[in-house]
Chains A and B, each alone.
Chain A
Amino acid sequence: MPILSDQIDPRSAAYQANAAHMLELLAEHDRQLAIANAGGGEKYVARHRQRGKLLIRERIQLLIDPDSAFLELSPLAAWGTDFPVGAGTVTGIGVIEGVECMITGNDSTVRGGTSGLAGVRKSLRALEIAIENRLPFISLTESGGADLPHQSDIFIPGGKTFHDITTLSAMGVPTMSIVFGSSTAGGAYQPGMSDYVVMIDKRSKVFLGGPPLVKMATGEESDDESLGGAEMHARVSGLADYFATDEFDAIRIGRQIMRRINHRKLGPGPRGAGRAPHYSPEQLLGIPSADLKVPFDPRDVIARIVDESDFDEFKPLYGSSLVTGYAEIHGYNVGILANHRGVLFNEESQKAAQFIQLANQTDTPLVFLQNTTGYMVGKQYEQRGIVKDGSKMINAVSNSSVPHLTINMGASYGAGNYGMCGRPFGPRLLFTWPHAKTAVMGPQQLAGVLSIVARQSAESMGRPFDEEADAQMRAAVEAQIERESLAPFMTGKLYDDGIIDPRDTRTVLGIALSVVHNNVIRGRHGDGFGVFRM
């Protein structure tokens, strides 16, 4: 077995500095999570509790198997926007009676559980993950409906949430709605489109139009219970399949439904329980460089996330700025592509294209460990066809049909983001380490390019170049680009599925691999050309 060697000295100054920096960022990340977890704040949380209600994360905690893991997705959605951090919606993957499920729910302490743009995007992403991976979809509904002042942003995209629920059902993937509170008007289609509906006595409220609207429309006098109470739906309309006496009962019923759902994963199981790596994952704190300009060997990362630190490297001598090879993570076979020394040259691009084709031949899921500044520029590389070679790699990534999982462990710049399966290239799940940056190029480079262009423009027009203004412009642009490339900003925009502690990478990848194996694992092979030798 090719066991990776240990190249790390935890006592070195560089390691210590990196680890200290990482711990600082993690502490800041925890502070941001605390803000999201606080929901609408003390006052609204207290009011929620006074009504005898559980908070959304408490509901999820009770719904999933005791002491099982829960992978929350995009907990910092809407960070850096006008919307509350977390977007008033919780989404994540958990295990219910042994079945991996996508669980979503409204945090009704946040603006009454109304959906804003970020919340809608978060829900749509959850549905996308559920569809791609055949995950049963469970919504814990308690929503005031659309955030009306922003209706123009959400009415049209929001409609797709209802569409996608039935897409899942049509695929044979169960959907369930447990209605903890209001789910009215358009929101009524949430339970309406679900395979299983649980409602709670005196709590659930599901109707198209409430008493005021009915009064306006037809003059009929009515009340909430007769229009959309749980008992009415359980006895009269039949919209509710299960009538729960309280929240605990509803969650118990939800678990009971999943217990008998007869869910089968279509992908193969792991080869067995994977044995732990030989090196401590704690050291992932100090391995990635705090300064993204300082490269690090991704083998040190691989040695701490794959089973027994056992890595079969492919083409190690060719295109050595990209490390490729096979390993197992928690018993799941994977192909790994990891950047080394940042830049992708012609050879690296060709090697990646070949490796991706080979993984498709063998139905092997791919893990991308990003730390790239992009494809090499310069006369020599252009003339050798770096655009053609990069395109081969991006083409291979685009058309590969095995599941892709991406971890941004440093830099994700330029077309390197595309080639290394960034968000636009549809990885099943994508997570970011706290210090990572994502942008079209580095802030200094971007500001420098703008400056050069301005200088050329001034020169060509014969105008004097204002050095002072240029310096100010560069500083301002650098600051802006720096801010917008940081992990919290990117996660706030839902350009990843969350920021993770590097030490948790093996656990997160294990969960992700288990999740993708709910669907068939089939690479693109057998109906076209063979693998092209690059």
Chain B
Amino acid sequence: MTLIRSLLIANRGEIACRIARTARDLGIRTIAIHSDADADALHVSTCDQAVALPGDAPADTYLRTDLIIAAARRTGAEAIHPGYGFLAENAAFAQAVIDAGLIWIGPPPTAIAAMGSKVEAKAAMRTAGVPVLPDSSVEGIDQIGMPLLIKASAGGGGRGMRIVRDSAQLAESLEIATREAVSAFGDGTVFCERYVERSRHIEIQVMADHHGNTVALFERECSIQRRHQKIVEEAPSPAVTPELRSRLCEAAVTAARNVGYIGAGTVEFLMDPAGEFYFLEMNTRLQVEHPVTEMITGLDLVALQIRIAEGHPLPAEALHPTITGHSIEVRLTAEDPAQNYMPMTGTFHRFELPHTAGIRVDTGISSGSVISPHYDSMVAKVIAHGTDRLDAIRRLHRALTESKVHGPTTNLDQLRQILLDPRFQSGDMHTGFLEDDPCITPTATSDLEFVAVALTMQARHRASATAWAFTPSGWRNNAAVAHAVTILDGDREVEVRYVLGRTLTVEITDIDQADPADPTGSPNIRQVPISQWEADTAGVSLSVDGLSACYEVDLVTDMNRTVAYVHSPDGSRRLFVQPRFPAVNLAGTAGSLTAPMPGAIRRVYVSVGELVTAGTPLLALEAMKMEHQVLAPADGIVAEVMIGVGDQVDTGQTLLRLEDANEDQGETS
């Protein structure tokens, strides 16, 4: 038995932070590694020490066995925790760590290797009596029948996975899956498996020590997935009865024992609508969704991993686990569900997730963090624990509603909609849940939200006033013109006009949107009858007909653009405030096509009829031994060339004429 006093965490993001937290609790010194892009990341400041790995790409940094072991040596780390992803399930890395005389916090390399090939793992499980789905290599497809699922043998995370429902698509799907597998895992081996429609994803957390104890810490359900990647996970599963639970746990323990498993692992099963389950694969690491198990069992899985690595037997509370309440986790990702989950990058200038009762937040970022394109799009896990499933749903929804996530687009709204979806609330889930309904129904922005933005802008203007700061906002002795702010809400453009006299009058117009009930086609203008209001730079409170509510508005101005994040009982929203004046087009000044000084034409680069873009060199003029390039001030067509090479020209003399390519109207210089 050893005592680990220092730990290198060979990972980044929330999991590195989460491991560091437990390590600190255990009195262990922590060492982070980081790429250049992550130099300012939260996991770096969370750890006691950090080693920089030059470069940004994972292949240059978090996947470099040699650099990581060197970092451990340099910092005197006694152990390495791989987290999940990157090198977590790389048997060669595990072996290298052990060979370096360091403690590997994970299963034996042999167990990793045994579970590393999905085909071989399934075969082994079949032999051990664990139920598996019929599968085959590509050659024996006919035995399986349609529909089937093509999977990468070395895969994970949904990459290289394709469903085939029609044999005509088979060849093409195989090709694509192979290509994806090669690019993602460096191994193009794929296999086919019967595809079960409307199946659930159920997995069992196992823990095994060096003393012959292997326990199952119950199931997690992870059926809600997007592109085969989990986004909502819970424990226990609403579809698992106590009887089914004991069978699942038994199968998982069998699977783990079968490969001589030590440490934390997860045995994944597919469950069909009839309640039959089949072994899918075993993940030989800590899972992303491990917190839901921690919440219902009260165990700290990372602490258990460390204790197991130190050689301790599992404690009594792990050997005899119990379930308390219900836990649900959602993965907050910087991606746009409405754009096929396109990853988003940028700065989260505000990133505040509430720590209310029953809520746990695991994140690797904080306000000001920059999301780079190099790594995974997940930015946080929000985990709720409640007395029962509905309690957990309610707490989680409330926490997401109160979250201040200001920056790149995230799936926050989608997560909220999933939690409110009747299918989810009744526990009626399957892995195609989001294909049936992606839960991305946009909700219309209320007029009061627009008003809140306008009045907060107003308060900000007043707060920054250096002269006449004492006057009432927008004071007039002759109120002839209303104050106006134009706000963009997706494709919608709305003008808020307000007069702040002794009473507030507000009018909202949807620009370019005529009232359908009005045959004259006049714009849809409506009054907002606000009876009481108060505003400061952080938001407003508005009262309409005795109903009052607070609208928190966070205004972020970058260059000429102001983004407004609005939080209210109506939800959270991102709106864009149009600048007061249109952006200046400095290049667009018409007609720079006159000679800037007297001189001789040395070169003419263009001829009549040629299309040029702004900045294209048109000709060269020599004066006082200097050669000056005359550039196209805007896109256009060369309409006329008034000079030739060798001509002497005078200041202001027209050299050539460009025409707008779109209009026939000539723009004379």
- Is the beta-carbon distance between A514 and B478 smaller than 8 angstroms? no
A504 to B478, CA, bound (A): 12
Residues of B near A60 (CB, < 8 A) are 481
Question: Any chain B CB within 8 A of the CB of A511?
Answer: yes
B175 to chain A minimum Cβ distance, whole angstroms, is 55
A304 to B649, CA, bound (A): 72
Residues of B near A235 (CB, < 8 A) are 594, 652
Question: Any chain B CB within 8 A of the CB of A498?
Answer: yes
A427 to B512, CA, bound (A): 50
B137 to chain A minimum Cβ distance, whole angstroms, is 68
Question: Any chain A CB within 8 A of the CB of B644?
Answer: no
Residues of A near B581 (CB, < 8 A) are 62, 248-249, 251-252
Question: Any chain B CB within 8 A of the CB of A100?
Answer: yes
A67 to B584, CA, bound (A): 22
Residues of B near A55 (CB, < 8 A) are 481
A252 to B580, CA, bound (A): 9
| Residue from the set B467, B483, B585, B591 with the largest chain A CB neighbour count within 10 Å | B467
Using CB atoms, name the residue of chain A closest to B469: A273
* Stretch of B93-101, B206-214, B252-260, B458-466 at the chain-chain interface: B458-466
Across the interface, A68 reaches (CB within 8 A) one of B465, B580, B584, B588, namely B465
Question: Any chain A CB within 8 A of the CB of B473?
Answer: yes
- Is the beta-carbon distance between A252 and B584 smaller than 8 angstroms? yes
- Is the beta-carbon distance between A248 and B582 smaller than 8 angstroms? yes
Residues of A near B477 (CB, < 8 A) are 71-72, 75, 498, 500-501, 504, 508
- Is the beta-carbon distance between B461 and A67 smaller than 8 angstroms? yes
Residues of A near B2 (CB, < 8 A) are none
User: With A37-B478, A75-B478, A501-B477 as given contacts, are A231 and B590 in contact (CB-CB < 8 Å)?
Assistant: yes
Question: Any chain B CB within 8 A of the CB of A112?
Answer: no
- Is the beta-carbon distance between A69 and B481 smaller than 8 angstroms? no
Question: Any chain B CB within 8 A of the CB of A343?
Answer: no
Question: Any chain A CB within 8 A of the CB of B468?
Answer: yes
User: With A65-B465, A231-B590 as given contacts, are A273 and B478 in contact (CB-CB < 8 Å)?
Assistant: no
Residues of chain A in range 20-39 having any CB-CB distance to chain B below 8 Å: 33, 36-37
- Is the beta-carbon distance between A66 and B588 smaller than 8 angstroms? no
| Residue from the set B462, B478, B502, B589 with the largest chain A CB neighbour count within 10 Å | B478
A322 to B522, CA, bound (A): 59
- Is the beta-carbon distance between A72 and B483 smaller than 8 angstroms? no
Residues of chain A in range 74-120 having any CB-CB distance to chain B below 8 Å: 75, 95, 98-100
B532 to chain A minimum Cβ distance, whole angstroms, is 16
- Is the beta-carbon distance between B476 and A66 smaller than 8 angstroms? no
Using CB atoms, name the residue of chain B closest to A514: B468
Across the interface, B481 reaches (CB within 8 A) one of A61, A95, A503, A514, namely A61
- Is the beta-carbon distance between B465 and A95 smaller than 8 angstroms? yes
- Is the beta-carbon distance between B480 and A65 smaller than 8 angstroms? no
- Is the beta-carbon distance between A99 and B467 smaller than 8 angstroms? yes
Question: Any chain B CB within 8 A of the CB of A341?
Answer: no
Residues of B near A248 (CB, < 8 A) are 581-582
Interface of B is mostly: loop
Across the interface, B472 reaches (CB within 8 A) one of A69, A99, A273, namely A69
B583 to chain A minimum Cβ distance, whole angstroms, is 10
A372 to B652, CA, bound (A): 68
Using CB atoms, name the residue of chain B closest to A86: B478
Across the interface, A67 reaches (CB within 8 A) one of B481, B483, B589, namely B483
Using CB atoms, name the residue of chain B closest to A236: B652
Across the interface, A98 reaches (CB within 8 A) one of B466, B473, B481, B502, namely B466
Question: Any chain A CB within 8 A of the CB of B426?
Answer: no
Question: Any chain A CB within 8 A of the CB of B470?
Answer: yes
Residues of A near B584 (CB, < 8 A) are 249, 252
- Is the beta-carbon distance between B476 and A65 smaller than 8 angstroms? no
Residues of A near B476 (CB, < 8 A) are 69-70, 72
- Is the beta-carbon distance between B461 and A69 smaller than 8 angstroms? no
Size of chain B's interface in residues, with CB distance under 8 A? 33
Question: Any chain A CB within 8 A of the CB of B427?
Answer: no
Residues of A near B582 (CB, < 8 A) are 248-249
- Is the beta-carbon distance between A510 and B588 smaller than 8 angstroms? no
Question: Any chain B CB within 8 A of the CB of A351?
Answer: no
Residues of A near B468 (CB, < 8 A) are 68-69, 95, 100, 510-511, 514
Question: Any chain B CB within 8 A of the CB of A125?
Answer: no
Question: Any chain A CB within 8 A of the CB of B443?
Answer: no
Using CB atoms, name the residue of chain B closest to A38: B480
Residues of B near A493 (CB, < 8 A) are none
Across the interface, A514 reaches (CB within 8 A) one of B467, B472, B580, namely B467
User: With A66-B461, A248-B581 as given contacts, are A72 and B470 in contact (CB-CB < 8 Å)?
Assistant: no
Question: Any chain A CB within 8 A of the CB of B471?
Answer: yes
- Is the beta-carbon distance between A98 and B471 smaller than 8 angstroms? no
Across the interface, A510 reaches (CB within 8 A) one of B470, B483, B591, namely B470
Residues of A near B472 (CB, < 8 A) are 69, 507
Residues of B near A231 (CB, < 8 A) are 590-591
B500 to chain A minimum Cβ distance, whole angstroms, is 8
- Is the beta-carbon distance between A100 and B590 smaller than 8 angstroms? no
Chain A 490-503, CB within 8 Å of chain B: the 1/0 string? 00000000101101
- Is the beta-carbon distance between A37 and B480 smaller than 8 angstroms? yes
- Is the beta-carbon distance between B473 and A330 smaller than 8 angstroms? no
Residues of A near B652 (CB, < 8 A) are 235-236
Question: Any chain B CB within 8 A of the CB of A274?
Answer: yes
Chain B 531-569, CB within 8 Å of chain A: the 1/0 string? 000000000000000000000000000000000000000
Residues of B near A70 (CB, < 8 A) are 475-476
- Is the beta-carbon distance between A243 and B471 smaller than 8 angstroms? no
Residues of chain B in range 590-604 having any CB-CB distance to chain A below 8 Å: 590-591, 594
Question: Any chain B CB within 8 A of the CB of A57?
Answer: yes
A21 to B582, CA, bound (A): 47
Question: Any chain A CB within 8 A of the CB of B521?
Answer: no
Across the interface, B474 reaches (CB within 8 A) one of A58, A69, A75, A100, namely A69
- Is the beta-carbon distance between B480 and A95 smaller than 8 angstroms? no
Residues of B near A201 (CB, < 8 A) are 590
| Residue from the set B585, B589, B594 with the largest chain A CB neighbour count within 10 Å | B589
A98 to B481, CA, bound (A): 21
Residues of B near A252 (CB, < 8 A) are 581, 584
Residues of A near B588 (CB, < 8 A) are 245
- Is the beta-carbon distance between B480 and A33 smaller than 8 angstroms? yes
Across the interface, B478 reaches (CB within 8 A) one of A33, A58, A236, A510, namely A33
- Is the beta-carbon distance between A95 and B467 smaller than 8 angstroms? yes
Residues of B at the A interface (CB closer than 8 Å) are 457-458, 461-462, 465-478, 480-481, 483, 502, 580-582, 584-585, 588-591, 594, 652
* 10 A-B interface contacts by CB (under 8 A): A61-B481, A67-B474, A68-B471, A98-B465, A231-B591, A251-B581, A504-B477, A507-B471, A507-B475, A514-B468
- Would you list the 10 A-B pairs with minimal beta carbon distance, nearest first? A69-B475, A69-B471, A67-B461, A252-B581, A98-B466, A37-B480, A57-B480, A72-B478, A330-B470, A95-B467
Apart from the given pairs A66-B458, A248-B581, 18 other A-B contacts in the complex at a CB distance below 8 Å? A33-B480, A36-B478, A58-B481, A66-B457, A67-B461, A67-B473, A68-B468, A68-B474, A69-B472, A69-B474, A72-B477, A95-B465, A99-B467, A235-B594, A243-B589, A249-B584, A331-B470, A507-B471
